[in-house]
Amino acid sequence: MTELAASRDGYGKALLSMATDEKVIVLEADLGKSTKSCWFREKYPNRTISCGIGEQNMMLVAAGLASSGYRPFASTFAIFTERAFEQVRNGIARPNLPVHICGSHGGTHTGTDGSSAQSIEDIAIYRSLPNMIVMHPCDDNSTEQLTIQLLKQDSPSYTRTARNKTPRIYEINDSRLEIGKGVILREGGDIAIIACGVMVSKSIEAAELLNSIGYDVAVVDMHTIKPIDTDLLDKLSSRYKALITVEDHNIIGGLGGSVAEYLSQKSNTILRRIGVKDRFGESGQAEEMLKLLNISTNDIVDTVVEVISEVK
Amino acid sequence: MFVMDLSQLKKLDVSDLVVELEEISRKCRIDILKMVYRAQAGHPGGSLSEIDLLVALYCTQLRFRVDDPEWSDRDRFILSKGHASPGLYSILSKVGFIKEKDLLSYRELGGICQGHVDMKFTPGVDFSAGSLGMGLSFGLGCALAARLDNSTRNCYVMLGDGEIQEGSVWEAIMASRHHEVGNLKVILDCNRIQNDDFVNTQMRLFDIPKKWSSFGWEVKEIDGHNMNEILDGLNWLKNNNNLPSVLIANTVKGKGISFMENNPKFHGAAPNEEQYKSALIELGVDN
């Protein structure tokens, strides 16, 4: 049986793994228990900085630490990082300081808190900032591994993690995982789905269902949305007549937007974007939200069938 | 080119030092005027209000190495009111971080003196400012880093009074007290004017010393143009090492050029040719 895990746990584990590097500093804004930075705080209180409920201050304190040679990791809910957007823009991205931001509870999948907590625009926002790396890994193990890789980056980053448990996709220390490189999780001859975050396991589920009715569908985990893996997009667009992106994010500006921008310059490949269609969510369980917003496994299946019939 | 010998300054007794510093300030005011006039843009008012404080700070307090601007154990100076950049560029040229000819690049494409101070462009600049209300939080990060490094270096932040209308400044004030960063030292350039008009017409700040001390900081008020008071105030700041401290400097916007003094128009406007010439005369420049 597939094991379930939440990507936010991977962030918490990564911080613990990196603790041997004394330059690693963790910043919290009263949500350490949720983002899982609390595990680091428990063991390394002297290297954990509480910023209270004050995200704007937190981002710039992190910038000051980074300018002094430290490697700060600051986390809160994805939605609350956005309150400090201009601080991130002017204080972190512009001077290119290696501050690593983790926004947990991203997307509508976060569920019953309702639309105030369901960030559907974070990836678009951070992707538009020069110097920023933007990631949305799909499970705990890949989140852990990719977060640890951030230590070698000299640029700032934003990583979205999810609150709820989803099927674990990767083993620990999977050699395929590298910032900026998508991973083909499943080969297929008819069409490829490019997904990120919680929608990766949904896409695999859809591909398996499609297989049972005669469709051969590839699934790619595009955990890094910026820089997008253009080599892989080149390969996919030359191999397939159509590609489908799947994300728990507004279809404007996220993974689908990023892939569309790239393909529009050099490819005739048809692209269909599955995502939140420019609307806010509401309170509901994760699965209920995906259904409400037409981004559930069945929606992926239906779209694949439709697109394949169009391109035949 | 005029570059000061700081070691000679430090040998002077106070009365001679004050005379020297006032003369350096006068020269900096001329630089500020020339930069803004040449660019026909910029912020003379806040540069002129802050300059006496900056001159005293750089000449008597800050620990730095002009030949190694990135020296990790330097004191940090963060000009949070980053639009008042001509003042900072001027003193940076006087102590030798940048050359006098660099001042000519103010606001010019390819120049190292950006419109608002930028750490990526100018040696000696520790923070990329320009958006108000950000410097204190950044300074808190620098102060915490110094503590983690077991360093005695200090972090100085200059804020403007209009700037503290930004709510996030008060997040930083609260957080600095919470973390008890005695190495964080704020200078408030209280010139009572902001972009549109007098501070009191835009958003009254009421009793600033009382507000700040109620957040648990050490607070002292001075006349920000009286060099004796400035030197005493900066010594007070330096010696307060248990809690964060703020030196509230009452200043005059546009100080030193009569038609700019207390005139909201010169928050962000350049003088015309006639005004420029009369200002030069006021500053003792013989045309």
Model confidence over A212-250: pLDDT tens digits? 999 999 999 999 999 999 999 999 999 999 999 999 999
Q: What is the pLDDT of residue B5?
A: 79
Pairwise CA distance, residues A96 & A90, whole Å:
9
pLDDT in tens, A171-190: 999 999 999 999 999 999 99
What is the sign, positive or negative, of the torsion defined by CA atoms of B85, B91, B95, B99? positive
Tokens of A68: 């002094």
What separation, in Å, do the N-terminal and C-terminal C-alpha atoms of chain A show? 36
- A59 chain-B contacts, CB cut-off 8 A: 137
| Contact status, residue B24 vs residue B4, Cβ threshold 8 Å | yes
Find, among B81, B70, B233, B241, the residue nearest to B155 by Cα. Answer: B241
What are the C-alpha distances in Å from A49 to residues A12, A38, A146, A197, B46?
A: 15, 11, 23, 28, 34
3-class SS of residue A147 = helix
Q: State the virtual CA torsion across A181, A184, A190, A196 in degrees, nearest 10.
A: -70
User: What is the mean predicted confidence (pLDDT) over A133-150?
Assistant: 98
Tokens of A167: 């099927």
User: What is the mean predicted confidence (pLDDT) over A138-154?
Assistant: 98
Question: How is residue B144 annotated by DSSP?
Answer: H
Residue of B nearest to A96 (CA): B120
Backbone φ and ψ for A183, nearest 5 degrees, come out as -120, 125
**pLDDT-derived band at A312, boundaries 50, 70, 90:** confident
Poorest-confidence range of A37-41, B6-10, B91-95, B209-213?
B6-10
Please tell me the number of Cα atoms within 13 Å of B101 on its side-chain side: 0
pLDDT in tens, A92-104: 999 999 999 999 9
- ipTM over cut 0.90: yes
Q: Which of B134, B153, B177 to mutate to test the interface with A (most CBs of A within 10 A)?
A: B134
Q: What is the pLDDT of residue B91?
A: 98
In whole numbers, what is the pLDDT of chain B averaged over residues? 96
Please give the CATH number for the structural domain made up of B6-282: 3.40.50.970
B130, B138, B149: residue with CB nearest A63 = B138
pLDDT in tens, A7-59: 999 999 999 999 999 999 999 999 999 999 999 999 999 999 999 999 999 99
The answer to whether the CB atoms of A87 and B168 lie below 8 A apart is yes
Domain residue ranges of chain B, discontinuous segments joined by +: 6-282
pLDDT in tens, B3-57: 677 888 989 999 999 999 999 999 999 999 999 999 999 999 999 999 999 999 9
Length of chain A: 312
- A86 chain-B contacts, CB cut-off 8 A: 131
Tokens of A183: 């991973």
Residue of A nearest to B118 (CA): A95
- What pairs with residue A27 in β-bridges? A49, A74
Determine which helix (DSSP H) or strand (DSSP E) holds B148, and give its type and residue range. Answer: helix B135-148
- A49 chain-B contacts, CB cut-off 8 A: 144, 179
Pairwise CA distance, residues A157 & B86, whole Å:
33
Q: Which domains does chain A have, with CATH numbers?
A: 4-167 (3.40.50.970), 183-307 (3.40.50.920)
pLDDT in tens, B55-78: 999 999 999 999 999 999 999 999
In B, what residues contact A, Cβ < 8 A? 72, 118-120, 126-128, 130-131, 134, 137-146, 148-149, 168, 171-172, 174-175, 178-179
**pLDDT-derived band at B286, boundaries 50, 70, 90:** confident
Ordered strands of the A24-28 beta sheet: A48-50, A24-28, A71-77, A100-104, A157-160, A133-135, A224-226
Q: Is the pLDDT assigned to residue B1 strictly greater than 70?
A: no
